[in-house]
Amino acid sequence: MSAADTVLRTEGLTKSFGGVHAVDGATTEFYEGKINGLIGPNGSGKTTFFNCVTGMIRPDSGTVTMHGKDVTRWAPHKIARAGLGRSFQLCRVFPRMTVLENMLVAVQPRTLGEYLGNTRSTETVEKARAMLARVGIDHLEAAEARDISYGQQKLLELGSTLMTDPPFVMLDEPAGGVNPSLIERIALLVRELNDEGTTFLIVEHNMDLIMSLCDHIVVFDRGRPIATGTPDVVKSDPKVLEAYLGV
C-alpha cells in the first residue's frame, strides 16, 4: 500500500496511566477503502488507542495522521467533522429519548432544546427513518432507547454514527453482547457500506467475525502492534498465536 492509500497512520503513539503503558510507541497504518481490524487480548491497549485517535484522550507522545492531516491534538468534534464516525465499546445512547430522536441528535449542531423542538427538517427526519430501516429497527422509532434490547441499542448507535455519512468509521466491539442474528446484520451492513466506499476500522473479540470481515488486521499486545497483514497471515503468525490465542 502507498501513502496515498493510508486513511489512518500513527507513529510512536504513547499513552500511560501511572506506570502502565496502555499504548506504547505504536506505529500503525490502516487503509482507505478497506475493512481494517484491530485485535488483541484484553488490556492490550485497543480502546485506549481508539480514544487517542479520536481525540477522547490526549496521547503523551507520538502522532496521529488521518487522510494525510496531523490530527494528534484536535478536539473530538473537530475530528468528527473531518469525516470520522465512531461507536463505543459500551453502547452510548440517550436512554430517555426516542429511537428517532437519538438519530436526529447525531446531526443537530445546536442546543438540547433544539434537538427536542421543532427545528428538524423534513429531509433530516426522512434520512433518519431511512437509516433506521437500513439497520433494521425502523419499527422502534417511537420507543425510548432505554426500552429496546441491548442489541437494538447497538444498531441504534451504529445508525446514529452513520447519520453524518462519515467516509471513515471506527467501531469498538460492535458484536459485543449481541445475539448471532444481529451480529450477521451488522456484518452485512458493514460489507454493504464498504462496497459503497466507507472505510472501517473495527476492534472486536469475535474472531470468526473479524477474520471473515476484514481485509487488513493489526494485532496489539502490551500496547503495541506485534503483527499485521491479511487474516490468513495474522492467524498463522507465531506471535499472535502466543499472545492472543494462547497457543
Q: What is the pLDDT of residues 209-245, one digit of tens each?
A: 999 999 999 999 988 999 999 999 998 888 888 875 5
* For helices 150-161 and 122-135, angle between their N-to-C axes, nearest 10 degrees: 130
Q: Is the pLDDT of residue 3 over 50?
A: no
Mean pLDDT of 118-127: 77
Domain boundaries, the chain: 1-83+166-247, 91-165
Q: Residue type for 161, please?
A: T
117 — pLDDT class (breaks 50, 70, 90): low
* For helices 122-135 and 180-195, angle between their N-to-C axes, nearest 10 degrees: 120
- Mean pLDDT (the chain) is 87
* Strand-strand pairing, 216-221 and 6-17: unpaired
Q: Is the pLDDT of residue 61 over 70?
A: yes
Q: In CATH, what number does 1-83+166-247 get?
A: 3.40.50.300
Own/partner contacts of 204-210, CB < 8 Å, gap of 24 or more, are: 204/37, 204/39, 204/171, 204/173, 204/174, 204/175, 204/176, 205/39, 205/173, 205/176, 206/175, 207/39, 209/175, 209/183, 210/37, 210/39
Give the range with max mean pLDDT: 26-30, 108-112, 114-118: 26-30
Q: Lowest-confidence range among 51-60, 105-114, 148-157, 194-203?
A: 105-114
Q: Is the pLDDT of residue 115 over 90?
A: no
User: What is the Cα–Cα distance from 149 to 138, expressed in whole angstroms?
Assistant: 14
Q: Lowest-confidence range among 74-88, 104-118, 122-136?
A: 104-118
